[in-house]
Protein backbone atom coordinates (compact mmCIF):
# COMPACT_ATOMS: atom_id res chain seq x y z
CA UNK A 1 0.00 0.00 0.00
CA UNK A 2 1.30 3.44 -0.90
CA UNK A 3 1.88 6.18 1.65
CA UNK A 4 -0.91 8.36 0.21
CA UNK A 5 -3.32 5.43 0.60
CA UNK A 6 -2.36 4.97 4.23
CA UNK A 7 -2.83 8.68 4.77
CA UNK A 8 -6.28 8.46 3.20
CA UNK A 9 -7.26 5.77 5.71
CA UNK A 10 -6.08 7.96 8.58
CA UNK A 11 -7.86 11.00 7.14
CA UNK A 12 -11.17 9.16 6.75
CA UNK A 13 -11.02 7.80 10.29
CA UNK A 14 -10.36 11.27 11.71
CA UNK A 15 -13.08 12.82 9.54
CA UNK A 16 -15.62 10.20 10.59
CA UNK A 17 -14.80 10.78 14.27
CA UNK A 18 -15.28 14.55 13.88
CA UNK A 19 -18.50 14.01 11.93
CA UNK A 20 -19.86 11.73 14.65
CA UNK A 21 -19.13 14.37 17.29
CA UNK A 22 -20.74 17.12 15.22
CA UNK A 23 -23.83 15.01 14.59
CA UNK A 24 -24.08 14.13 18.27
CA UNK A 25 -24.06 17.84 19.08
CA UNK A 26 -26.66 18.56 16.40
CA UNK A 27 -28.88 15.82 17.83
CA UNK A 28 -28.47 17.08 21.39
CA UNK A 29 -30.29 19.71 23.42
CA UNK A 30 -27.43 22.26 23.39
CA UNK A 31 -27.78 22.64 19.63
CA UNK A 32 -30.93 24.72 20.17
CA UNK A 33 -28.99 27.23 22.27
CA UNK A 34 -26.90 28.14 19.20
CA UNK A 35 -28.14 31.03 17.01
CA UNK A 36 -30.18 29.94 13.99
CA UNK A 37 -27.62 31.01 11.37
CA UNK A 38 -24.90 29.02 13.09
CA UNK A 39 -27.20 25.99 13.37
CA UNK A 40 -27.73 26.10 9.60
CA UNK A 41 -23.99 26.34 9.00
CA UNK A 42 -23.38 23.37 11.29
CA UNK A 43 -25.97 21.30 9.42
CA UNK A 44 -24.37 22.31 6.11
CA UNK A 45 -20.95 21.39 7.47
CA UNK A 46 -22.24 18.00 8.56
CA UNK A 47 -23.66 17.28 5.11
CA UNK A 48 -20.45 18.31 3.36
CA UNK A 49 -18.37 16.22 5.76
CA UNK A 50 -20.64 13.22 5.09
CA UNK A 51 -20.20 13.64 1.34
CA UNK A 52 -16.43 13.99 1.75
CA UNK A 53 -16.36 10.80 3.83
CA UNK A 54 -18.31 8.98 1.12
CA UNK A 55 -15.80 10.09 -1.53
CA UNK A 56 -12.88 8.98 0.61
CA UNK A 57 -14.67 5.67 1.19
CA UNK A 58 -15.11 5.13 -2.54
CA UNK A 59 -11.45 5.93 -3.18
CA UNK A 60 -10.37 3.53 -0.43
CA UNK A 61 -12.68 0.85 -1.78
CA UNK A 62 -11.06 1.24 -5.20
CA UNK A 63 -7.59 0.39 -3.90
CA UNK A 64 -8.53 -2.04 -1.13
CA UNK A 65 -11.12 -3.89 -3.17
CA UNK A 66 -13.55 -4.16 -0.22
CA UNK A 67 -16.32 -1.74 0.65
CA UNK A 68 -15.36 0.43 3.61
CA UNK A 69 -18.93 0.04 4.87
CA UNK A 70 -18.46 -3.76 4.87
CA UNK A 71 -15.33 -3.44 7.01
CA UNK A 72 -17.08 -1.74 9.95
Check pLDDT > 80 for residue 71.
Answer: no
Following DSSP, what letter does each residue of 13-69 receive, concatenated? HHHHHHHHHHHHHHTSGGGGGS-HHHHHHHHHHHHHHHHHHHHHHHHHHHHHSS-TG
Instruction: Please give the share of the chain, as a percent, with pLDDT higher than 70.
Output: 90
What is the structure's pLDDT at 61?
A: 95
Instruction: Please give the share of the chain, as a percent, with pLDDT higher than 90.
Output: 86
pLDDT (tens digit per residue) in 3-35: 999 999 999 999 999 999 999 999 999 999 999
What's the predicted TM-score (pTM) here?
A: 0.85
Amino acid sequence: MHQYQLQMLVEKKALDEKLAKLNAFIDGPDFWQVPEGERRRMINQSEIMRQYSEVLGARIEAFVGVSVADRK
